[in-house]
């Protein structure tokens, strides 16, 4: 079949955003470079304050990645080896990697077939005497109903929100990241709020948790000669903080463009063939990734689009519990029929805040064209 467009359309190119804010970003970089402060300087402190205020938390502690944000949040709870963490099997590897790094045991709950989020109504049946934490993931910019989850798990079990994909999303007017005991954010370059390298942050209203993480992120040191506790080296660097401060000022406008583009996609795509992630009432999603169910001919569609210069991705190709790296850790089997179904039908199509309407319409038209010719 002839190509519909000779120009290759990437799923999420990063240069358009840089070009949009290039002058501001360059000034921020130059300010940091000329200051001589490169580690734990004024930009890190300012960004911690600005981002925690934006989300609605009292304390923010910058670390060097979203994965480390999860690790440090879990570590601050001083859990015991083998304690259980209930989480979703339909997420990026890092969610479970953080749990295993502390020798905790992941317990997987199946997902909702339409929202792709943890099915919180199934969590209660998985709680055991060893359950200490529930770790929901606000996947693709959607939001798990944390207030309802709290009702289910009670006050004794900690809730740590994985917010790697939900910068600025909210439910019932409260932002994701300010709903549980702690939250972990990633500032990987492709995120809604992304730097130009790795970066992460833990947010909380609990001063003791914040102080513990702040100490342990820098070797547990009081000063260069005095070390108060065992710690590691995981710091958000000054350069990334300066860049992120610029982008944070534009986050709402970038998210607004994402919402408008998502709405336009939804009006163009034929739901009989490809159905976008469902957003529940009361949720203000930020569409980190535009993912859809394509239960019929998903792989053929991806091949057709690639052949016509349109990149797609599959997030995620299998449940975390099926990954070779983790199979050996589980003593109990997990019933995950919905997750296994979704991994065979999910597809993510080109989507980013700076995407032109003409590009979006071409992608949607190509998808509709494919299905109209296989009836």
What does the pLDDT look like over 106-140, one tens digit per residue?
999 999 999 999 999 999 999 999 999 999 999 99
What does the pLDDT look like over 269-299, one tens digit per residue?
999 999 999 999 999 999 999 999 999 999 9
Place of tokens 């700076």: 354
Q: Which residues of 302-329 are buried (b: 16+ CB within 10 A; e: fewer)?
A: bebbeebbbbbbbbbeebbbeeeebeee
What integer pLDDT is reported at residue 6 of this predicted model?
54
Confirm if 187 and 195 have CB atoms less than 8 A apart: yes
Q: Where in the chain is the domain with CATH 3.40.640.10?
A: 17-249
Confirm if 178 and 150 have CB atoms less than 8 A apart: no
Give the lowest-confidence range in 5-19, 30-44, 305-319.
5-19
Looking at every residue in the chain, the average pLDDT score rounds to 95
What does the pLDDT look like over 228-241, one tens digit per residue?
999 999 999 999 99
Residue 128: exposed, middle, or buried by beta-carbon count in 10 A (0-12, 13-18, 19+)? exposed
Six token digits for residue 355: 């995407």
Contacts of 44 (CB under 8 A, 6+ apart): 62, 235, 236, 237, 238, 241
What integer pLDDT is reported at residue 365 of this predicted model?
97
Cα separations (Å) of 80 from 16, 131, 212, 295, 369?
Answer: 46, 11, 17, 42, 55
Peptide bond into 337 cis (omega under 30): no
What integer pLDDT is reported at residue 7 of this predicted model?
83
What integer pLDDT is reported at residue 227 of this predicted model?
93
Is it the case that residue 335 has pLDDT exceeding 90? no
Mean pLDDT (whole number) for 232-254: 98
| Interatomic CA distance for residues 366 and 361, integer angstroms | 8
Mean pLDDT (whole number) for 263-272: 96
Confirm if 160 and 73 have CB atoms less than 8 A apart: yes
Of residues 157, 158, 248, the one with CA closest to residue 201: 248
Out of 3.40.190.10, 3.90.1150.10, 1.10.10.60, 3.20.20.210, the CATH code matching 251-372 is 3.90.1150.10
What does the pLDDT look like over 56-112, one tens digit per residue?
999 999 999 999 999 999 999 989 999 999 999 999 999 999 999 999 999 999 999
Both ends of the chain: CA-CA distance in Å?
A: 16
Is it the case that residue 368 has pLDDT exceeding 50? yes
What integer pLDDT is reported at residue 287 of this predicted model?
98
| Interatomic CA distance for residues 237 and 106, integer angstroms | 31
Is it the case that residue 330 has pLDDT exceeding 80? no
Is it the case that residue 331 has pLDDT exceeding 80? no
Level-2 CATH architecture, domain 17-249: 3-Layer(aba) Sandwich (3.40)
Mean pLDDT (whole number) for 339-348: 97
**166 Cα distance to chain centroid:** 6
| Interatomic CA distance for residues 248 and 253, integer angstroms | 10
What integer pLDDT is reported at residue 375 of this predicted model?
64
Q: Is 149 helix (H, G, I), strand (E, B) or coil?
A: helix
User: For residue 325, what pLDDT band results from cuts at 50, 70 and 90?
Assistant: confident
Q: Is 310 helix (H, G, I), strand (E, B) or coil?
A: strand
User: For residue 329, what pLDDT band results from cuts at 50, 70 and 90?
Assistant: low
Q: List, as one string, the DSSP characters of 232-258.
A: -B---BHHHHHHHHHHHHTHHHHHHHH
| Interatomic CA distance for residues 85 and 184, integer angstroms | 15
User: For residue 2, what pLDDT band results from cuts at 50, 70 and 90?
Assistant: very low
| Interatomic CA distance for residues 89 and 350, integer angstroms | 24
Six token digits for residue 135: 């770790």
User: For residue 225, what pLDDT band results from cuts at 50, 70 and 90?
Assistant: very high
Q: Where in the chain is the domain with CATH 3.90.1150.10?
A: 251-372
Is it the case that residue 356 has pLDDT exceeding 50? yes
User: For residue 1, what pLDDT band results from cuts at 50, 70 and 90?
Assistant: very low
């Amino acid at each position: 079949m002839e190509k519909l467009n000779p120009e290759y359309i990437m799923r999420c190119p990063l240069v358009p955003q840089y070009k949009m804010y290039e002058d501001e970003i360059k000034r921020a970089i130059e300010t940091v470079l000329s200051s001589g402060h490169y580690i734990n300087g004024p930009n890190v402190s300012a960004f911690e304050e600005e981002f925690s205020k934006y989300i609605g938390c009292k304390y923010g502690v910058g670390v060097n990645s979203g994965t480390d944000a999860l690790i440090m949040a879990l570590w601050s709870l001083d859990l015991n080896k083998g304690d259980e963490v209930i989480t979703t099997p339909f997420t990026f590897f890092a969610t479970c990697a953080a749990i295993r790094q502390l020798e905790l045991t992941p317990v997987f709950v199946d997902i909702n077939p339409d929202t792709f989020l943890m099915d919180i109504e199934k969590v209660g049946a998985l709680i055991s005497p060893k359950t200490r934490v529930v770790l929901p993931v606000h996947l693709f910019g959607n939001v798990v109903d944390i207030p309802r989850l709290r009702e289910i798990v009670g006050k004794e079990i900690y809730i740590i929100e994985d917010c790697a994909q939900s910068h600025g999303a909210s439910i019932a007017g409260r932002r994701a990241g300010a709903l549980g005991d702690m939250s972990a954010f990633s500032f990987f370059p492709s995120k809604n709020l992304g730097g130009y390298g790795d970066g992460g942050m833990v947010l909380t209203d609990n001063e003791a948790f914040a102080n513990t993480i702040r100490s342990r992120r820098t070797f547990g040191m009081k000063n260069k000669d005095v070390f108060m506790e065992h710690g590691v080296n995981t710091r958000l660097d000054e350069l990334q903080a300066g860049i992120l401060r610029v982008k944070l000022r534009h986050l709402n406008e970038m998210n607004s463009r994402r919402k408008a583009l998502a709405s336009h996609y939804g009006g163009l795509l034929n739901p009989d063939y490809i159905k976008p992630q469902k957003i529940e009432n009361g949720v203000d999603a930020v569409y980190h990734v535009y993912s859809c169910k394509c239960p019929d001919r998903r792989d053929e569609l991806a091949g057709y689009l690639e052949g016509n210069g349109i990149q797609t991705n599959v997030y995620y190709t299998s449940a975390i519990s099926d990954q070779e790296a983790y199979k050996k850790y589980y003593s109990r089997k997990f019933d995950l029929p919905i997750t296994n179904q979704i991994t065979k039908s999910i597809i993510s199509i080109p989507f980013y805040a700076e995407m032109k309407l003409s590009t979006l319409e071409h992608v949607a038209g190509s998808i509709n064209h494919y299905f109209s010719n296989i009836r």
